[in-house]
Amino acid sequence: MSTHFIGNRRVAGSSGETIPVLDPSDGQVFAHIARGNSEDIRRAVAAARAAADGGTWGRLAPVERGRLLRKLSDALLAHHDELAHLEMRDCGKPVKQAIADATAVARYFEFYAGACDKLHGETIPYTPGYAVMSFYEPHGVTGHIIPWNYPMQIFGRSVGGALAAGNACVVKPAEDACLSLLRIAELAVECGFPDGALNIVTGYGHEAGQALADAAGIDHISFTGSARVGTLIAQSAARRHVPVTLELGGKSPQIVFADANLDDALPVIVNAIVQNAGQTCSAGSRLLVEASAYERVLEAVGARIATLKVGPAVLDFDVGPLIRASQLQRVEGFLADAKASAMRSIAQGSIAPESPATGFYARPTLIADVPMEAPLACDEVFGPVLAAMPFRDEADAIRLANGTEYGLVAGVWTENGGRGLRMARAIRSGQVFINNYGAGGGVELPFGGVKSSGYGREKGFEALYGFSVMKTVVIRHG
Ligand code: NAD
């Protein structure tokens, strides 16, 4: 697998250097990938440029583009088992999660296949004697920087939308997890994608990633990752006046009122923090509970967390390993800080005895009485740690919900419809779920953040506008 994918071929990296890839379940090296650099990015951008500007891809009718995307969706479904196994090994995803992700990427391509020939402009009433129309045109070549937590899903939502809008793509997956995407590129060629429509360069963020963000010939950048790197990407793009979509982190609240239906709420609340071992941008990592129900809810959530088992991906326990040792240290650091500050640890899950000592396992944990200014309440842990705190009333809940630098997703649990809607309108975030919580939600639902969670929207039809540029044509006909 230690090659890039450029112009429909596997291509060796120009430096010949590689990066070892670890299996998070046992911490052992099981593969190597190519260590891409600016020369590899230059080649990939040239291939994409040729595809977009007068190449077969650029000339394809939207309906034909849609048919190719649909073929790829079918191929992804047909290979979902193989793709799921790659991510199980690469990311440490338990079997069920890996299969869900492989199925989701097929669904992204299905959705965007149907959208290719429906992105139309308008005619605009103007001065008599004139006709005005608008067109949505592709940017040309789009760059996509993808994190390791959901490689397939984020590829589907970002690259699926960009291809549907007619762009040729250059993708830089995360150094920790990119094997599934290299395989998807091969499947795309088998489906008949023309030369250069989809290119993948693997490598480190500060090398290949930075080179992609700086590359002349990239017309739009979609970045999903940390707020810190998002700033660097936006700075690079600003120097060349290139538009960016930033999908960054979150500290999303689950807000539980005393009248909530806890039978519905509890399994969803627990899943939202342990799914993918908490390494989800939209993880519901803060539990805000109305004071009169606080102890009752803590006890019930704690009872569920205590039953959770963590273990190797292939054994499909409730929770898999974290991606790497530094991520485990990060999570342990938050827990040590909570202990040192005398916060209440309500419950912890357990690590299954089958787990190799060299794997990266963190126990799901519920910590209560977390002060708003504590790192655990403000910073993204990216691990299975839920921080709980009480609130007095609606106004207090809104204050706490909006009290971090992030604004990605929120969940509101109440049987009072008016209150649910009032909360949804007052919370500053890209998505709000009332009496349900989908980490990120379905393919159809526009997704993205406000504040340090980023800007721009992916998913849904809305993404196609971001991956297009509007042109206005004015005709004087007299
Ligand atoms: P990261 O920012 O370290 O890396 C993300 C990607 O950026 C990787 O491909 C990496 O190689 C690349 N990168 C790193 N440094 C770079 C640089 N200087 N220039 C260009 N590219 C560079 O993030 P991570 O630790 O891999 O992922 C976790 C973060 O991603 C979390 O903050 C999480 O919330 C966020 N995330 C957000 C969403 C969303 O949709 N909002 C989804 C998933 C993850």
User: What CATH number does the domain containing 404 carry?
Assistant: 3.40.309.10
For 111-148, the pLDDT digits (tens) are: 999 999 999 999 999 999 999 999 999 999 999 999 99
Ligand 1 nearest-atom number relative to CA 249: 34
Ligand 1 center from residue 225 Cα (angstroms): 2
Cβ–ligand 1 contact at 176 (below 6 Å):
no
pLDDT of residue 298: 98
**Statement to judge: residues 19 and 164 lie in one domain:** yes
Is 101 touching ligand 1 by the criterion CB < 6 Å?
Answer: no
Instruction: Specify whether 263 is located in the same domain as 206.
Output: no
110, 175, 247, 290: the catalytic one is 247
**174 touches ligand 1 (CB under 6 Å):** yes
**Is residue 191 in a domain?**
yes
Partner residues linked to 145 by β-bridges: 172, 223
Distance 215 CA to ligand 1 centre (A): 18
Ligand 1 mean position, distance from CA 248 (Å): 7
Q: pTM of the entire structure? A: 0.97
Unique residue bearing structure tokens 């090296």: 29
- The reply to whether 363 and 428 lie within a common domain is yes
Task: Kindly state whether residues 167 and 229 are assigned to the same domain.
Answer: yes
- Considering the domain boundaries, does residue 175 fall inside one? yes
Close Cβ partners of 451 (under 8 Å, ≥ 6 residues apart) = 405, 406, 407, 428
**Most ligand 1 atoms within 8 A of CB, residue of 221, 226, 231 to mutate:** 226
pLDDT in tens, 368-396: 999 999 999 999 999 999 999 999 999 99
Give the number of other CB atoms < 10 A from CB of residue 271.
15
Overall domain count for the chain = 2
Taking CA atoms only, the protein residue closest to ligand 1 atom 12 is: 205
Q: How far is the CA of 147 from the centre of ligand 1 (A)?
A: 5
Residues 234 and 257 in one domain: no
**81 and 189 inside one domain:** yes
Q: Are residues 58 and 199 in the same domain?
A: yes
- Amino acid in position 257: F
416 plus 471 within the same structural domain: no
355 and 436: one domain? yes
Inside any domain, residue 449: no
Does residue 450 lie in a domain region? no
* Atom from ligand 1 closest to the CA of residue 230: 2
Contact, 92 vs 84, CB < 8 A? no
**pLDDT (0 to 100) of residue 441:** 72
Q: List C-alpha distances in Å: 372 to 251, 270, 317.
A: 12, 21, 32
Q: How many CA atoms lie within 13 A of 458 on its CB side?
A: 27
Query: 210: Cβ below 6 Å to ligand 1?
Result: yes
pLDDT at 268: 98
Residue 86 in any domain: the answer is yes
Q: Are 466 and 423 in contact (CB under 8 A)?
A: no
Distance between CA 99 and CA 37 in Å, rounded? 32
CATH of the domain at 230: 3.40.605.10
Active site residue 247: yes
344 and 234 in a common domain = no
Name which of 255, 300, 302 is nearest 423 in CA terms: 255
332-354 core/surface letters (b: 16 or more CB in 10 A; e: else): eebbeebeeeebeebbbbbbeee
**Residue 135 forms part of a structural domain:** yes
Residues 321 and 417 placed together within one structural domain of the fold: yes
* 281 is a catalytic site residue: yes
Distance 372 CA to ligand 1 centre (A): 25
- Are residue 374 and residue 274 in the same domain, yes or no? yes
Q: Which of 116, 281, 290, 458 is catalytic?
A: 281
- Answer whether residue 101 is part of any domain: yes
Strand 18-23 vs strand 28-34: parallel, antiparallel, or unpaired?
A: antiparallel
CB-ligand 1 contact for 249 (6 Å cutoff)? yes
Residue 442 CA to residue 116 CA, distance in Å, equals: 19
Q: Which residues constitute the domain of residue 241?
A: 4-248+455-476
Give dist(CA 255, CA 401) in Å, integer.
Answer: 8
Tell me what pLDDT residue 160 has.
Answer: 98
Q: Per-residue pLDDT tens, the chain, 478 aa: give them.
A: 589 999 999 999 999 999 999 999 999 999 999 999 999 999 999 999 999 999 999 999 999 999 999 999 999 999 999 999 999 999 999 999 999 999 999 999 999 999 999 999 999 999 999 999 999 999 999 999 999 999 999 999 999 999 999 999 999 999 999 999 999 999 999 999 999 999 999 999 999 999 999 999 999 999 999 999 999 999 999 999 999 999 999 999 999 999 999 999 999 999 999 999 999 999 999 999 999 999 999 999 999 999 999 999 999 999 999 999 999 999 999 999 999 999 999 999 999 999 999 999 999 999 999 999 999 999 999 999 999 999 999 999 999 999 999 999 999 999 999 999 999 999 999 999 999 998 667 999 999 999 999 999 999 999 999 999 999 999 999 9
Check residue 440 and give its pLDDT.
Answer: 64
Among candidate residues 208, 72, 92, 227, the one with its CA nearest the CA of residue 151: 92
Which residue from 229, 273, 326 has its CB within 8 A of the most atoms of ligand 1, so it is best to mutate?
229
Tokens standing for residue 145: 């920087």
Q: Is residue 447 part of a domain?
A: no
